[in-house]
Chain A
Amino acid sequence: MPAVLVLSAPAVAHDQFGPTNLPRRTSTDHLVAVNMVTDVQRVGPGQTFHLALIFDIEPQWRIYWKNPGEGAPPPQIKVQAPSGFEVGQTMWTRPGAFKTPLGPVYAYEGQAVLFVPVKAPMRLADGRVTLHAEIKWAVCKDVCVLGEARRSVIVETTHRPVESPEVADPILLKHRMRLPGSLDTVSGASVTFDGTLLSITGPAQGEKKAAYFPGHSRGVTYHEAEVTVTNDRFRVVVRVDLRPNNALGEPMVLGGLVALGEKLDDPCYDFQFQLPMPNGR
């Protein structure tokens, strides 16, 4: 049995001011170094900006996508924002897919950036606000290690609308390119579900390969997908088992990510739709 190190990043608040001070590995002792920055210098009334959680991961170790497949649980990010600021759902960039004897694992290696949208209130004074995030993750290689950290970021606020608010940071730009587009917006794409088979088709955009990374919803089990690309169109067919009793009262959602090409920077699209509840809710 190899020695297992269980490490946690220190739970020390680490203030970053706006988008500056881009991530540095602050310690070589940790398998994951996490930094939080924003994609704005300043935020105006009603403006949506993003917190970017930058994970620098020790080589050969992985953290996991929202559906880890046969991997460990994905990172969890809890954001505390000042009153009036609305925090949205974590936005997950395209992960890598890795084969394991138990099945596929969807995960990030090297560096991963997850984005959390935040909408400023319509009434905003000149000043500064601080946003805090509590981040927990599992990082695995042959063993898994749990980590957690708290990070804070200060954002300048202004009562005036901000023009061209986004900062062109190369790391954020690179990872933002890996955020999936919506399949809804792709001309010629379609999703059908007959109660058993989920079929997704659309233009392959010149890519010769495609992959499907299923979503995760309690009560929904996806079998192995059959994915083909012919005549510049992709087709995904996957059998889905629905067990409403295992949804624990939550809505059952079908969805996932269609990843064209093989590189993380190749186009990818996501979709999801809620299935009707068995009791008509």
Chain B
Amino acid sequence: MNRRTRLFLMIGLSAAAVAIGASAMAFAEPEVKKAKLGKKAPEFTLLDTSGQERSLSDYKGKTVVLEWFNLGCPFVQRCYKSKAMQDAYMKSKQWDKGIAWLAVNSTYTTTAQQNDAWIKSYKPKYPILLDTDGKVARLYDARRTPHMFVIDKEGILRYHGAIDDNRLADKPADEVTNFVVSAVRQLVQEETVTPDYVKPYGCSIKYKP
């Protein structure tokens, strides 16, 4: 890199340092309907696999975890086979007994039989909501499975992204950071949720064409 480039870079880096210093940036953008960190999580209503209607507002006053889910995705399968997801649920529940956990399946090809087989196999302690047309996934800009969202008791979206930092399953369980459990713990302890976003990993959401 030539001298001029370095000079620019130095100037740029100084500016970057200033920008980082002001990291507690306030988002003064107008309220939007789509999910956004620090904003009210958008309302939705979906049917679960048993045909019961469930709305986000049903869980008013509770911490809510949304887990974007696709039973055909090997990353989701791995989370369930290794019990990483079930452990995350249990640990979150230990921190916050009243927590509501909702799995959302936006995979348009999933059949009711496949959902039933999954439920029989893994016996999740939370409902699976059916978002076959992908409307709620789009509302939340859910991109992957799994893609996790944590909403606080006031209905504000406080975390979204990866479930953990073990994207290729190469870490021993005691070295894995589960970002959902971490967010729930921080909410209970009235701390700022940090991180509030970690790029999710997994399969892309299979939206209805």
Contact = CB atoms under 8 A, between A and B. Distances in A.
Interface in A124-140: 136, 138, 140
Given A244-B20, A275-B13, A191 B72 contact: no
Contacts of A216: 199
How extensive is the interface on chain A, given as a class?
A: 35 or more
B170 A218 contact: no
A34 B192 CA distance: 44
Interface stretch (A110-118, A157-165, A181-189): A181-189
Contacts of B188: none
A76 interface: yes
Nearest to A102: B143
Contacts of B2: 187-190
By CB atoms of chain B within 10 A, which of A1, A140, A243 has the most? A1
Interface string B102-127: 00000101110010000000000000
B73 A144 contact: yes
A195 B20 CA distance: 8
A81 interface: no
A270 to B, nearest CB: 12
Given A1-B111, A216-B199, A276 B9 contact: no
A1 B74 CA distance: 14
Interface in B20-55: 20-21, 23
A170 interface: no
| Interface range, B side | 35 or more
A183 B2 CA distance: 10
Contacts of A78: 170
30 contacts: A1-B110, A101-B207, A136-B168, A138-B75, A140-B204, A143-B73, A144-B74, A144-B202, A146-B78, A184-B1, A187-B2, A190-B5, A190-B8, A191-B5, A192-B8, A193-B16, A194-B16, A195-B15, A195-B18, A195-B20, A216-B199, A243-B197, A245-B23, A245-B194, A245-B195, A248-B195, A276-B16, A276-B20, A278-B20, A278-B21
Given A4-B72, A189-B1, A192-B11, 14 more contacts: A6-B74, A102-B205, A143-B72, A143-B203, A144-B75, A146-B74, A146-B78, A192-B8, A193-B13, A195-B17, A218-B199, A243-B197, A248-B198, A273-B9
Interface of B: 1-2, 4-5, 8-9, 11-13, 15-21, 23, 72-75, 77-78, 107, 109-111, 114, 143, 165, 167-170, 177, 192, 194-199, 201-207
Interface of A: 1-2, 4, 6, 70-73, 76, 78, 100-102, 136, 138, 140, 142-146, 183-184, 187-196, 216, 218-219, 242-248, 252, 273, 275-278
